[in-house]
Amino acid sequence: MNRKILEVYFIMGTVNCLKDPLETLEHALKAGITCFQLREKGDIRLTGIAYEEFAVACQRLCQKYRVPFIINDDVELAIRLKADGIHVGQDDAAISTFRERVKDMIVGISVHTLAEMELAVQNGADYVGIGPVYNTISKPDAKAPAGLHFLRSIREKYPDFPMVGIGGISEENAQKVRQAGADGVSVISVICRSEDIDRTIHHLKSW
């Protein structure tokens, strides 16, 4: 896959936004995000028809701005909507169980250890999300920070494999994550809670 699409990888669900989610997404798309992942989690998340309708609306915006549309966890919805990709965590179905069903999709997986990274590569992942790099407020159940050292070690072992840093990334530390070896940064709250999305995304981009 083209590693450039990981440059500014925005993850969002309705519960993350202070303002209207679709307005937030479109603003982020206009400002230059390079990939979008729909991650609808939490006790007050959308479900059923409302969830699917929201997913379709997000997908249409991504298509308008020619930005890849990734769905978190929900393989069936990703297949039904013909999303550009699917992202799964270590607690979700193994890549090997659905890789055959999504041959034309981008498949990403979250990794926190070297063993998880090795399995991701062996099982046909297209990219990995390394993290959490720092402490994060977006996932209450997040693992302990993996740190920049782990990211560097993975890049040394897999110099050409697409990887994006995730977890606690801000405008201030984004470049440190890139310097440690990430192709890009994946963020939630830093965009969802931004008072100036254009400025925020400018600071998140490569210098």
Structure confidence at residue 99 (pLDDT):
73
Dihedral, 116, 112, 191, 202 alpha carbons, nearest 10: -80
pLDDT over 70 percentage in the chain: 92
**Residue 144 predicted with pLDDT over 70:** yes
Structure confidence at residue 18 (pLDDT):
86
Structure confidence at residue 96 (pLDDT):
67
The pLDDT tens digits for 83-136 are 999 998 766 556 766 777 777 899 999 999 999 999 899 888 999 999 899 977
**Catalytic residue among 39, 138, 186, 189, which?**
39
139 has catalytic annotation: yes
Mean pLDDT of the chain: 90
Q: When comparing pLDDT for 31 and 144, which is higher?
A: 31
**Ramachandran quadrant class, 180 (left: phi over 0; alpha: psi -120 to 50; beta: rest):** alpha
Range of the domain at 53: 3-204
Structure confidence at residue 93 (pLDDT):
55
Structure confidence at residue 84 (pLDDT):
97
**Catalytic residue among 110, 138, 186, 189, which?**
110
DSSP letters, 53-100, are: HHHHHHHHHHHHTT--EEEES-HHHHHHHT-SEEEE-TTS--HHHHGG
192 CB-near residues (< 8 Å, 6+ apart) = 12, 16, 17, 18, 24
Q: What is the CATH number of the domain that holds 182?
A: 3.20.20.70
Query: How many domains does the structure of the chain reveal?
Result: 1
39 has catalytic annotation: yes
Structure confidence at residue 139 (pLDDT):
56
**Residue 67 predicted with pLDDT over 90:** yes
Structure confidence at residue 184 (pLDDT):
97
199 has catalytic annotation: no
Q: When comparing pLDDT for 49 and 139, which is higher?
A: 49
Q: When comparing pLDDT for 117 and 44, which is higher?
A: 117
The pLDDT tens digits for 10-27 are 999 999 988 899 999 999
**Catalytic residue among 41, 99, 139, 193, which?**
139
